[in-house]
Structure 1
Amino acid sequence: MDEFMSRTPATKRRAAAALVLVAPLALAACSEDSAAGDDGPWEPDRDIEWIVPYSAGGGFDTYSRGIAEVMQGNHLPDGVNIVVRNTPPLPQGISSMFNADADGYTIGILPMPAAIAQQIQEPDLAQWETSEFTVLGQVDENGYVVYVPADSEYETIEDLIAADDIRAITVEQGSSSALAGLATIQALDLDAEVTYGAEGSAEVVTAALRGDADFFVYGSTDLVGFVESGDIRPLLYLGTEDQLPESFDWLDDVPTAEEAGFPDLAGAVTELRVIVAPPDLPEPVAEYLRGALADAMADEEFIAWAEEAGRPIVPRTAEETEAAIADQITQMEELVPQLSGS
């Protein structure tokens, strides 16, 4: 201070001018650091893109749109919307989530264990590392079911096991449904040929109903309407006892894999619908999005939507979801090579 006061008036004026110029620059730098999430709170000030790596109309798309509507309406700043973008095929969608800017304006719904299975099966195609996503939370845990058309000659899972030259249909290779189907075929020693490439659950059911497939394996929360309408019948539940959705009365009389004598198949492939952001998301940004997601999933409006849509909510915190993902990575590292050799 003494040195500044001892300067000439001209020198003082130059120093003061320099301070005037430096101050805005310093404030701008601080503002940029805050926006990047290095310190201080963060909240979005423009629309957020939500990536769904599947076509519109399926389970992942339905959950995404249900959460997005409640989240943008009740738990984001006014004027900030969530724009859902469907980006099939699966590798393209997952890659776009992983490689987006880590700024809080791109999130997505990640299918597990499909993400890690595709990474193991197609390492050159998979432009992501499953373990490196920034995890925000989980909305659903989906046990798989073996279904047949309602008029099928196969009344029980034992009938299906005893049959020759049966046909299955599913979506793309490496998807969670495809993995569950292959695990089922291997565990039950089914004489089955699989057709891949259906665009979603509705196309899988339609193909089976017109006679193009004898059975298919899909999630318990995906085809509720088709079961309740009497179009398809469940033969075997592949999840564990604690994964059985309490609200699905139609599963009450369906044997589990363990009850049918295949305990190793129970829970071997369980679909998790996980909400993620790109890697290295700044912690204040991640904290904000995790909170907004958790608040949306606990919102009475979303709970009412889930009940009306027949979509159970099985939420997990980010920490719990990270642990579940780590378990599935370990599980798939053992299972996928076995299925690939079958």
Structure 2
Amino acid sequence: MGSALSNAPVSLSTLTTMQVGGVPSRIISCGNTQQLYDAAIELWSSDEQFHVLAGGSNTVFAEDLEGLTILHVTNRGVEIVSEDAQFVTVQVQAGHSWDEFVAWAVTNDYAGIEAMSGIPGSVGATPVQNVGGYGQEVSDVITQVEFLEKGSDESVIRPASYFEFSYRDSALKHGLEGLVGWVEFRLQKLAGMSVPMKSGQITEHLGAEYGSALPLEQVRKTVLELRASKGMVISETDPDSVGCGSFFTNPVISVEKSLEFPEEMQRWRMPNEDQVKISAGWLIENAGFPKGYSIPGSKAAISNKHALAITNRGGASSAEILELARLIQERVAARWGINLIPEPNLVGF
């Protein structure tokens, strides 16, 4: 199969940022795309249950993982495939760190992903939920993806439209099964400036007008500061960063329905003028969950910095994480009539 099998699988709490999860039956380390594809084809043919894991920042594993195989994706690399005076097209391997790629782009004056600085995880995971932040999302810049579809023995290159991207969503979350080998991005050359900023938080923080182009390095620095202030940048010195970042997506609702909520609730405009995105953090806090809340006796807690993040305070079980998440969902639904959707993958529950 051309891949290295772990003879002694480790607890997935050591491979995930939430730091919970049991020991799988085995871990297959895939250092290049072909190893990944070969392993997946073999596992599909044997109907063996498996899960693909790279950065481990967007997955919560159960404790009982008997029978589960982990494909640990570690392929890395960024390659420029074409460029002209205005654009550069790059292919990035699935196992490459997303934030390292963003840092590389900013250093080289390539614009289009700077506002997504500090997001943990791997490049290969970004198309799955159309990762985004501060007014940008990867579907803005993805051109194509090398993809091995379940049931196929050969990978194909699919255009971005194949994945039906929408807000924090894609066909990969709704029945399209397969593996990402690499992702191709088209970034802009704007002489060290960003694309127009569509985040009021960034422009207000920098005293600029909404829609302004700003220096790339300044945007990245600002985003990292904003995310760190919310415990959203992984740091060994910050216990609020032991989690998956935002545990729930910000709901998108009709403008009409949004009028039912108090004016002070944060909301953001969407490309579809009939819809707005509203603050899940506000809904949570105003359903009776202050920052730092935990169920008595539990080691799972809402972040002290941001109500949208669930954190592991040290030694929490995956059951405790899910117990808190479900309680939040129940109370928000009862108070506001909104069903919060978890952002991380929940495996083994």
User: Could you say which structure has the greater relative contact order, defined with CA pairs below 8 angstroms and 6 or more residues apart?
Assistant: 1
TM norm structure 1: 0.24
Larger helix share, 1 or 2: 1
Larger strand share, 1 or 2: 2
TM norm structure 2: 0.23
Structure possessing the higher radius of gyration over alpha carbons: 1
